[in-house]
Structure 1
Amino acid sequence: MTDLQLPTCDLILFAGQSNMAGRGITDARWPQPAPALLPGAGYEYRAISDPGTLHALSEPFGAAENNPDGICEPGMKTGSLVTAFVNAWYQNTGVPVVGISASKGGSEIALWQGDSDYLSDALARFAAAEDFLQQAHIPVRHRLLVWCQGETDGDKETPPEIYQARFHTLWSRCRRSGLETCFLIAIGQYNGIKGYDYTAVHAAQLELPRKEPGVVLVSDGFYGMRTRGLMKDSYHYYQQAYNEVGTEAGTAASCWLQQH
């Protein structure tokens, strides 16, 4: 797809841990697959596996993007919220998305601080996408982060004030790299038998838009999925849940951007 010509695009870094990376599956009760991509709605820039072109966005998003020295989880991605997000975005804006996969399951926020860690890898992928689009003469309208992470910090009982301070470091480094807005998707509840409580981290996340310039909450939809029976295991969701949250987040994010 090296000859693709786009009049403009929105460049979005999709980052966080496993529920951003996507662990979606179907079963008899929840048979809904990931949605088909709307024609022209979005593309994936594969900074690790195929950096010389764009690919039509598909699920499982980011499955090929495994960096042995950074974000690497081969065979783990099975279906994410990204296609649903991009469809909603494109329906509201008419602007296609170039998406970058940068999510690592089981990663606490301490590993997203920009010190030769997962954030360093994510921002290197973002910079490579910027360079590619510039060389391909594809203008970028907005540079954005979609962030969903925090379950591991719930497991580790990271104090809310520490979580917020580490998020501040993460977001500050993202802004210095050119990212304009962080669209935040809050974590859900724990669904296992070990007794983990995500309440404190979840509440800390809901406070971030008030404390951090450029951070916008676009979905808290995961929090009600356990009650609805949409969790497939202790941490993850059926594809239907990812579809719903992706649509909600993509709609809210695009509407917010059009108003600001």
Structure 2
Amino acid sequence: MEADILLFMGQSNMAGRGDYRLAPEVLPGAAYEYRAVTEPDTLVPLTEPFGVNENREGGVFEPGMKTGSMAAAFVNACYRKTGRPIIAVSCSKGGSRIQEWQPETPYFKDAAARYQACLSFVQSRQIAVHSTGMVWCQGCTNADDGMAKAEYKEKTMAFFQAVKSLGVDKIFLIQIGNHREFPDRYVPMQEAQEEIAEEMEDVIMTSRLFRTFRDRGLMKDSFHYKQEAYNLVGEEAGARTGEILTKEAGKTKL
């Protein structure tokens, strides 16, 4: 088997606060979850709620919070483009700030450990790795805190560089949306994300749909989205990611 490894990371709208019952069924053979924390010796067909039990005390830990995400729609759309299965690793934490993802932090160390465990596993099973990537969606909490755009951009770029230093080929960025009651609050972070995708090699903007959902009535509260919204973002971002992975051969060969 040849597969693409993708880390799904960020804060709550990556973790998913939707309704897993309304997520699409994952296509047969399209994706497997590598559960680095709870089942590190096997692959499990990906289902929603993705990553719900992947909680590590001292690292990424949010029991019961993952209720339905973009992952199922994402892997279906990506698989339709590449024809290769995805090995997906969950490492997302609601409310997390970019400061908490910097190198040497507990979250970063946990993510690195999950990634390395996955690489070791696929090597032991003689699974060929076509490419590796991180799917990232984060920034709302930093905007709520009032962090300056320049600081957010600097810290995000430092984090992305650290992720690439682990051997991750590409970063597939999903732009954050808008606060329901204060729609301009997240604009500086959105702008920073646009600039990062323009300036950093191997960082690709894959979806801007979240910012359209406030006006479409697809928000469930001030910060989070209905499952329909997660499905739409996952479909767009997954298709774009699949296009990139089809065009470019991966650098990682195991």
User: For this structure pair, what is the TM-score category when the shorter chain's length is used for normalisation?
Assistant: over 0.9
How far, CA to CA, are the matches of 2:199 and 2:216 in structure 1? Answer: 31
Partner letter of residue 71 of structure 2? Answer: V
Q: Which residue is 1:197 aligned to?
A: 185
Residue equivalent to 1:21: 15
Partner of 2:243: 255
Kindly indicate whether residue 46 of structure 2 is the aligned counterpart of residue 57 of structure 1: yes
Quote the Cα distance in structure 2 between the aligned partners of 1:90 and 1:98: 11
SS class of match (1:144): strand
Alignment of 1:161-180 (within 5 A): 161-180=150-169
SS at match of 2:220: coil
CA distance in 2, matches of 1:16, 1:147: 5
| C-alpha distance in structure 1 between counterparts of 2:156 and 2:199, whole Å | 11
Greater Cα shift, 142-151 or 249-258: 249-258
Q: Which amino acid aligns with 2:147?
A: T
Q: Return the offset for 1:196.
A: 7.3
Partner of 1:207: 195
How far does residue 259 in structure 1 lie from its aligned partner after superposition?
2.7
Give the letter aligned to residue 90 of structure 1.
Y
The aligned counterpart of 2:63 is 74
SS in 1 for 2:214: helix
Q: What amino acid is the match of 1:136?
A: R
> Are 1:192 and 1:233, in contact at CA under 8 Å, matched by a contact in 2?
no
Query: Is the CA contact (8 Å cut-off) linking 2:131 and 2:245 kept in structure 1?
Result: no
Stretches of 4+ moved more than 2 A in 1?
256-260
Task: Give the Å deviation of 1:255.
Answer: 1.0
Q: 1:107 aligns with which of 96, 108, 112?
A: 96
Question: C-alpha distance in 1, partners of 2:137/2:77?
Answer: 18
Q: CA deviation at 1:253?
A: 1.2
Q: CA deviation at 1:124?
A: 0.9
Q: AA paired with 1:139?
A: A
SS at match of 2:22: coil
Structure 2 match to 1:187: 176
Counterpart-to-counterpart distance in 2, 1:228 and 1:141: 38
Number of equivalences: 248
Give me the identity figure in percent. Answer: 45
Q: Which residue of 1 aligns with 2:252?
A: none
Name the structure 2 match of 1:245. 233
| TM-score for both structures, normalised by structure 1 | 0.93
The letter for the 2-side match of 1:84 is A
Matched, 1:124 2:118: no
Code of the residue aligned with 1:42 in structure 2: it is A
Q: Deviations over 1:105-132 (max 9, x none)?
A: 0001010002132122111100000001
Which is worse superposed, 197-206 or 216-225? 197-206
One-letter amino acid of the structure 1 residue matched with residue 246 of structure 2: Q
Secondary structure at the counterpart of residue 7 of structure 2: strand
Q: Is the 2:82–2:245 contact (alpha carbons within 8 Å) kept by the matching residues of 1?
A: no
1:150 corresponds in structure 2 to 139
Distance in structure 2 (CA, Å) of the matches to 1:171 and 1:184: 10
Cα deviation 1:194-214 (Å, max 9, x = unaligned)? x87111111111111111111
Tell me the SS of whatever aligns to 1:54: strand
- Quote the RMSD (CA, aligned, Å): 1.3
State the AA in 2 paired with 1:106.
G
> What 5-or-longer segments of structure 1 have no aligned partner?
1-6, 27-31
**Residues 10 and 142 of structure 1 are in contact (CA less than 8 Å); yes or no, is this contact kept in structure 2?**
yes
SS at match of 1:228: coil
Gaps of 5+ in 2: 249-254
- Residue aligned with 1:226, SS: coil
Whether the aligned pair in 1 keeps the contact of 2:55 and 2:62 (CA below 8 Å) is yes
1:140 maps onto 2:129 in alignment? yes
**Letter aligned with residue 108 of structure 2:** L
